[in-house]
Homo-oligomer: A and B are copies of this chain.
Amino acid sequence: MLHNSASFCTSLSRQKTVTAICQAISGWIEQGELTHNDRLPAERVLSEQFTTTRITLREALGQLEAQGMIYREVRRGWFVSPPRIIYNPLQRSHFHAMAREQGRKPATEVLDAGEIVAPEVINAHLTLPSRSRVYCIRRIRRIDGRAVLYVEHYLNPEYFPAILHEDLTSSLTELYANTYGIRYGKVRFAMLPTTFPLAASRALKVADNSPALFITRINRDQYGRIIDCDLEYWRYDTLHIMVEAE
């Protein structure tokens, strides 16, 4: 036989079972038999359906997870990933506005808030001296009910007196503007793929060591002063980053 597509697929002949499972499940999703946030059948059911073991089945689920096609909630099961949110980290638009503009339902939950001695990383970001005290607000944010983001905000307290007594479930952006007359100016951000730290995986109820997108934002106000920084841990399959240069 001459050059046909079979030769192209040699590397697929490895991993026969896993590939077949991946194709079958993504077929269900593409054909709408399963839609956003639907739960997949139990692992034992699937492994029987595909006449294989749970180990192999979980290998396939792991690959679909890496592609961002499905996600899991710890000890609850596997679910179909909803479409990604388009996120421009340079933009001032806040989380709730961003989600709503894209037809999604946002929600915010405050885990805790207080004044702490800042870790050295934070002092460096905020250009504060060692052992400075800062406000720390930890929140999780949901889209359509699904917890997608764990974030720690560190605020230079000089600019935000008594902010801890305000309602922190709404947008900090609005609070800054309405109560303190402070608006976001220049932003600097860093981003790297890694895994969730323990505090985040607990709060989001994802498996320990799930992959995550870690984004650091350092925010200045309209006068160029560094006012706060955010450490954001996003579920791996949540975001589609888009940035346009000025």
Which residues of A come within 8 Å of B, CB atoms?
2-4, 8-12, 14-15, 55, 63, 66-68, 84, 89-90, 121, 186-195, 197-198, 202, 208-211, 213-214, 231, 236-237, 239-246
Report the copy number of this chain in the oligomer: 2
A246 and B186 alpha carbons, distance in the complex (Å): 7
CB distance from A12 to the nearest CB of B (A): 8
A245 and B8 alpha carbons, distance in the complex (Å): 37
Q: Which of B4, B11, B209 contacts A208 (CB 8 A)?
A: B11
Q: Which of B4, B14, B90, B244 contacts A214 (CB 8 A)?
A: B4
Contacts of A66 in B (CB 8 A): 194-195, 209-211
Q: Are B189 and A3 in contact (CB under 8 A)?
A: no
Closest to A86 in B: B190
A231 and B12 alpha carbons, distance in the complex (Å): 24
